[in-house]
Amino acid sequence: MSVQGLHHVTAIASSAQATTDFWVRVLGLRLVKRTVNFDDPSSHHLYFGDASGSPGTLVTYFAGSRLRRDGKPGAGQATSLAMCVPKGTLER
């Protein structure tokens, strides 16, 4: 079986507001959905993506002050994220 693509990538952030400001105000993505982390309802689960929330465009974050910060990259875990922007779409 081969992987045809990703639906979304999830990361951890300490501040829901700072994370939203970056993805929406700086990168221009849309806050598609906001729920809670069902394993820790005190933390937000934020979804950012294109205007339609299309699979493959989504980046999600668990954001909250009680999340662990001592995690280490491991097997099968993404350690970096790159995005491409269509030529001519960014303001100068």
Q: How far apart are CA 12 and CA 17, in angstroms?
A: 13
Give the strand pairing for 40-49 and 8-13: unpaired
Q: pTM for the complete prediction?
A: 0.72
DSSP per position, 7-54: SEEEEEES-HHHHHIIIIIIT--EEEEEEEETTEEEEEEEEEESTT--
Q: What mean pLDDT is predicted for residues 25-42? A: 87
**Per-residue pLDDT tens for 69-83?**
566 667 767 777 887
- Please name each of the domains of the chain with its CATH number: 8-63 (3.10.180.10)
